[in-house]
Structure 1
């Protein structure tokens, strides 16, 4: 009997040691122990946030910095250590914060692999680990947190592929994996996330096509896959089921085929970014119905763009677009601040209509085949310009003298043309903000004015005369 009792007692002790106690058997003391275990893993606390505040000899854990407790249970429900520049790793004991709803470690220097025990945080709805140094494959433990609504892992060093099991997170509203080292294909299972509003997986190494199921998530507001290695074409009916979509960000991939004709059905679009791809054909004229559009980056230049009166930025940079630029198409865009058409095959003159874009801050027409003179309307009406790039064209004539009176200019690049004449001697009287000054490879005469030294902010000068 005694031997039998010994075995029963030994088994009971082993069970307690081997299996963690259920949440109902835990207390605030358990939460405190978990947080102190995290503190022990901190190797640098430059602002001494935890060093001076987290102590088992001080007040209740609920009053510790970054800690929030619930009123009914007096358990830790939120841990916010964001922007503290902490260095360290995550201990497995953090998985014992069973009542945790919010975990925010944004902008620290945590590293290492996330412990499996985080899968025990079944109440977790919000987790942000952005701007840290976490490594390893995409954390599979996160796929078990079925209540998650907000998952942000931006700017880490996670590798591997996005697991299919992420489809378990059916309550997810925000999935942001920007700037990691993820690879492989986008899983079709992402299409099961029926509550997703924000999908951002930019600046990774994803390949293959974009699953058509993603375009059936009717709650989506933002789709962002810029700067990956995605290929294939976009579905022709991509906007049929996206009534709330406000932004499509696909710049910097290897997408091909035609731009879908039903883009106009994404009637709330404010940003459409498709440049630096290999699209073919023409943009559908229906794009003119996207009256909410503010930022447009494409690979073609149709006249219907003139209907987009709310545009703030327009760019078709680094494509193979030819023909002349009809600046009249921008006449109704009274808020246009950025016009970037560089590195194409545009021909013809820069017309005086450019002067109607009085709100322009950035004008970049570099690396085209433009001819003729620089219109005086640039220096007479574009008083807000910060960047003027017209280099590597075939422009001729003299530089309008009043251009040197645009005091807001920071970048001034007219090199690689056929410009003639001399520079004004009072060049830097009003060029106080200029930082980059490029006039090389022209037919300019005279000398560089000695008062160039008055351009106190100047960092780069290329002006062989």
Structure 2
């Protein structure tokens, strides 16, 4: 019999789904305003006093700085409070903004774990939390965001593994988790998201190898940066199947073996960084690269 802990992630997702379904039927523009006022109440630092002065119940929530509403039904569909010098926790009421399509909190000092009520934001297309101080695991309920196109969790304090929630994220174009404290293998499901344009996992402690088929289902990928991790094994020769690659950075890992000659077939490539591994061989270049940059990046 399988250990019951095996089923915990699935149970958690089901509960989040049910919670989100109930919330959608009861929320409105008044609920949205209350959710944002709850967020304002959790702000411990507002260096420019934008929220303190502008977010007031005396005027329509749709007129608040950083807030965008649609017309029918009247709901908050975008919240962009990036680079406002804000600090504080994220309250659970944020999950009541169930019509959100865009949530950008980047370049602030928000901290703590993401509340589970975030799972109710199932219409999100953009989730940008870049450069804050969020901590804890990357929550598996992100897998509920079927419409998600842009996910940036970089430069935070996330720990644990990258959860394998990607089978439902068929619209994802950007996935970045640079400079966190993540470990474990890269989930194989990532390499089956054909919509991906950017994968950026620089500056973690990810380990394990890259699958031989890694580029077979990534026809749009143009940015792959995995530097400053603990990845090992060989670089797959199928790398040339990522034919749109412009940036390939695998430096500062533990890769071994020969540099695949197929890298020379990447005609769109403009930046290559393989340094500080244990690789051997040369690349036959089949197009005109920026040669001084290429040679510098390939050297150990």
Fold match by TM threshold 0.5: yes
Q: CA deviation at 1:212?
A: 3.0
Change (3 A) 1:127 1:118: same
Q: CA deviation at 1:238?
A: 1.8
Structure 2 equivalent of residue 227 of structure 1: 228
Change (3 A) 1:197 1:41: same
* TM-score computed with the length of structure 2 as normaliser: 0.89
Are 1:119 and 1:142, in contact at CA under 8 Å, matched by a contact in 2?
yes
- 3-state DSSP class of the match of 1:237? helix
Q: Which runs of 5+ in 1 are unaligned?
A: 1-17, 295-307, 320-465
Q: Which has the larger radius of gyration?
A: 1
1:343-358 to 2 correspondences below 5 Å: none
Structure 1 equivalent of residue 46 of structure 2: 45
Structure 2 Cα separation of the partners of residues 208 and 227 of structure 1: 13
Structure 2 Cα separation of the partners of residues 44 and 316 of structure 1: 42
Are 2:212 and 2:238, in contact at CA under 8 Å, matched by a contact in 1?
no
Structure 2 equivalent of residue 130 of structure 1: 130
Deviations 1:34-69 (A, max 9, x none): 10111111111111010001111x210000010000
Are 1:179 and 1:204, in contact at CA under 8 Å, matched by a contact in 2?
yes
Q: CA deviation at 1:242?
A: 1.5
Q: Which runs of 5+ in 2 are unaligned?
A: 1-18
Structure 2 equivalent of residue 266 of structure 1: 266
Structure 2 equivalent of residue 345 of structure 1: none
Change (3 A) 1:262 1:122: same
Q: CA deviation at 1:313?
A: 6.5
Are 2:134 and 2:157, in contact at CA under 8 Å, matched by a contact in 1?
yes
Are 2:211 and 2:236, in contact at CA under 8 Å, matched by a contact in 1?
no
Change (3 A) 1:252 1:104: same
Change (3 A) 1:273 1:318: closer
Structure 2 equivalent of residue 153 of structure 1: 153
* TM-score computed with the length of structure 1 as normaliser: 0.58
Q: CA deviation at 1:21?
A: 4.7
Q: Which has the higher helix share?
A: 2
1:209-248 to 2 correspondences below 5 Å: 209-216=209-216, 217-239=218-240, 241-248=241-248
Q: CA deviation at 1:166?
A: 2.6
- 1:110 is the counterpart of 2:110: yes
Of structures 1 and 2, the one with the larger relative CO (CA 8 A, separation 6+) is 2
Structure 1 equivalent of residue 287 of structure 2: 290
Structure 2 equivalent of residue 188 of structure 1: 188
Q: CA deviation at 1:133?
A: 0.3
Deviations 1:402-451 (A, max 9, x none): xxxxxxxxxxxxxxxxxxxxxxxxxxxxxxxxxxxxxxxxxxxxxxxxxx
Are 1:78 and 1:103, in contact at CA under 8 Å, matched by a contact in 2?
yes
Are 1:269 and 1:290, in contact at CA under 8 Å, matched by a contact in 2?
no
Q: CA deviation at 1:117?
A: 0.9
Q: CA deviation at 1:266?
A: 1.3
1:396-411 to 2 correspondences below 5 Å: none
* Equivalenced residues, count: 281
Change (3 A) 1:19 1:181: closer
Q: CA deviation at 1:202?
A: 0.3
Structure 2 Cα separation of the partners of residues 161 and 189 of structure 1: 14
Structure 2 Cα separation of the partners of residues 254 and 246 of structure 1: 23
**Root-mean-square deviation over aligned CA pairs:** 1.8
